[in-house]
Amino acid sequence: MVLAGTSRLRSSIMSKAKKKPVAETVATPVRVMIVDDHPVVREGFARYINGEPGMHVCCQESGAAEALSVFCRTHPDVVLVDLTLEEGSGLELIKDIKSQDPSAKILVVSAHDEELYAERCLRAGAMGYIGKHEAADKVVEAIHHVLEGNLHLSDRVSRKLLRRVTGNANHKDRTGIDALSDRELEVFELIGQGKSINEIAEHLCLSPKTVETYRAHLKEKLNLESSHQLAREAFIWSVEGN
């Protein structure tokens, strides 16, 4: 009897040992990188994103060079990029990130005119564009779209791009400013902000001679005769809101 009881006890123990509890799978949070030249904006987005289930801001940067270095070390799941940075260019940063990691998911969050910049950002490698004026929950929604591999644009800009692709764009879809290259547009914008040649060169990490060349191209493409006219047109464009 004692042996039989011992045998039954041993069998019970062995049975329980075989039925080990399955460990619960904890989803890894989506790691978000924020690149913006305004600390208040970065902190605001970070606070909201960190409050979202399954999302975590892993790093924040203000300049292009450091942002690229941090990206290469951390490889976040998605990068939020502003076009105007403390140092360097948001557009060039997008291109640099994509050259390092073609699969990188990038969402532009900017105050610049989406109709002018969205297509440029897509060509550079971004997967979406959303204005800073949008509510924080809309930004999170855009992040989800990009993570799912979808493009995120406003309906207005989507229609504009569709007209362009189908050959049905009207004359308003293409202006002199639209015809500028990305670098030319960046230089034009900085001229409108009243920056000198040397200041523009330092900001964009270019030589003053290169900036002078871009300025000459701008006068030619915009049919302007002098640097004074160029500065005036750039200022007006900047004040009217680009």
* Pair 29, 55: CB distance under 8 Å: yes
Rounded to the nearest integer, the mean pLDDT of the chain is: 85
When pLDDT is cut at 50, 70 and 90, the band that residue 116 belongs to is confident
Spatial neighbors of 64 by CB under 8 A, at least 6 apart, are: 35, 85, 87, 88, 89, 90, 92, 93, 96
Query: What is the CATH code for 175-240?
Result: 1.10.10.10
Mean pLDDT of 21-43: 82
Query: Given this model, what pLDDT does residue 173 score?
Result: 45
What proportion of the chain, given as a percentage, has pLDDT over 70?
83
Chosen CATH of 30-165 out of 3.20.20.70, 1.10.3720.10, 3.90.660.10, 3.40.50.2300: 3.40.50.2300
What proportion of the chain, given as a percentage, has pLDDT over 90?
62
Answer yes or no: is pLDDT of 2 > 50: no
Q: What is the rounded end-to-end Cα distance, in angstroms, of the chain?
A: 92
From-to residues of CATH 1.10.10.10 in the chain: 175-240
Q: Among 70-74, 111-115, 147-151, 194-198, whose mean pLDDT is lowest?
A: 111-115
**Angle, to 10 degrees, between the axis of helix 227-240 and the axis of helix 208-221?**
80
Answer yes or no: is pLDDT of 146 > 90: yes
* Pair 57, 49: CB distance under 8 Å: yes
Residue type, 56: H
